[in-house]
Chain A
């Protein structure tokens, strides 16, 4: 074997360890469970369905929230009419989180798992569930 063979094998071993690092991390340290979010909803009279269908909301809720924010902040228009003619207030706290009142299991579960840090909570204080199940401001 050429004199540099050992050095090259050493380098190769380092590469193989680096490239399989996620595997070792998961096997040795274990993984935290990846739970599906709880589509937790509180029964609110007069609100039986979401503003858009679940399929759309799952993929594009951020677009809707973004649009709501801009419409409210720039144009001051709070009134939102759904495709099927229902009226809502364009408000994260008063509309979304009125029903989806468990931020930890509804919002945060996915966001944390996917390392998404939306800046909603930079301004909004968010909702926390209280013992009687109603929404409470933190």
Chain B
């Protein structure tokens, strides 16, 4: 049901611009929509990050995968349980660039016996890595539409991406990787009963949306060609604040643009916000120095305390009369 709903919404997001752009109003689909989407994205992203930045994180949260720094002769795990700033930067880099947490993914199986078996499972890690890096390269490749003249590094990336020179226009490896990885991640949610059980519309929808973006992009490149010079004129116009609406770009492009706009509008309000959130993971970005340094809770307000010493001082006479043992008396040598 959640999958059906996501599919329905993505179909709607394709149908609306397809019908709309076919009916005309290209200034709306090509200029108003992307500008509005970009504004919502930038404002939403900033608001989310500032909201998170205001949350105090007074303690280190040691969810460590390695030996903590203790005595000098005990070897500590510098990256998995860092106690210094550089170690923490290393752990963050491993997490952000190599998806260290997903690398630890395990799979549990009930085997004959019955025996419970745990095993390493790298498929999710591999697919996630392929997905994110392919998406990054595809995004960077799109810089050729954003600025004129095209920067040399974009041409270089493009050349590497089409290195194998398969087909015409040359097949980009990242296009195939991205589609394959999206298919795997979606298939994993749909076919693995345990993952399907915990999957919601918020999990299916972004995958389907990104799949739709990739598919429309691939279709435009390899099968139903659009006027790319027109596309570039529109994109450069948008990004130099002098929007132009070229003639005859083709409805497929407006579908692609609308889907991308939907994605960036959706991003700040969804789990896709891990784009910024991963940098703020308290279990990753704080060194585990709980035992080396005292961390005082910053919002501790001064508490009025009444120590036993003061208590005994106050009720000295009454306690003495009642024959209670008194600390002060005990410490004094006996008079008689």
Contacts and interface: CB of A to CB of B under 8 A. Distances in A.
Interface of A: 1-5, 8-9, 11-12, 15-16, 19-20, 22-23, 25-27, 30-34, 36-37, 58-60, 62-63, 66, 110, 112-115, 117
B144 A114 contact: yes
B276 interface: yes
A110 B229 contact: yes
Interface string B175-187: 0000000000000
A32 B149 contact: yes
Nearest to B240: A26
Given A1-B54, A2-B56, A9-B50, A25 B225 contact: no
A113 B148 contact: yes
8 contacts: A2-B298, A8-B280, A15-B45, A26-B239, A26-B241, A34-B148, A110-B228, A114-B150
B292 interface: no
Chain B interface secondary structure, helix, strand, loop or mixed?
helix
B140 to A, nearest CB: 11
B158 A115 contact: yes
A31 B236 contact: yes
A112 B148 CA distance: 10
A9 B150 CA distance: 31
A16 B147 CA distance: 18
A23 B55 CA distance: 32
Given A2-B55, A32-B148, A62-B169, A113 B229 contact: yes
A8 to B, nearest CB: 4
Given A62-B169, A114-B228, A114-B232, A22 B239 contact: yes
Interface residues of B, number: 38
Interface of B: 42, 45-46, 49-50, 52-57, 143-144, 146-150, 154-155, 158-159, 168-169, 225, 227-229, 232-233, 236, 239-241, 276, 279-280, 298
A32 B316 CA distance: 91
Given A26-B236, A32-B149, A60-B225, 18 more contacts: A1-B54, A5-B54, A8-B49, A8-B52, A12-B49, A15-B276, A19-B42, A26-B241, A30-B240, A34-B148, A34-B232, A58-B225, A59-B225, A110-B229, A113-B232, A115-B154, A115-B158, A117-B159
A1 B46 CA distance: 16
B46 A5 contact: no
Contacts of B52: 8
B50 A12 contact: yes
Contacts of A114: 144, 150, 228-229, 232
B143 A22 contact: yes
Contacts of B169: 62
Contacts of A110: 228-229
B148 A31 contact: yes
B225 A66 contact: no
A115 B236 contact: no
A30 B147 CA distance: 9
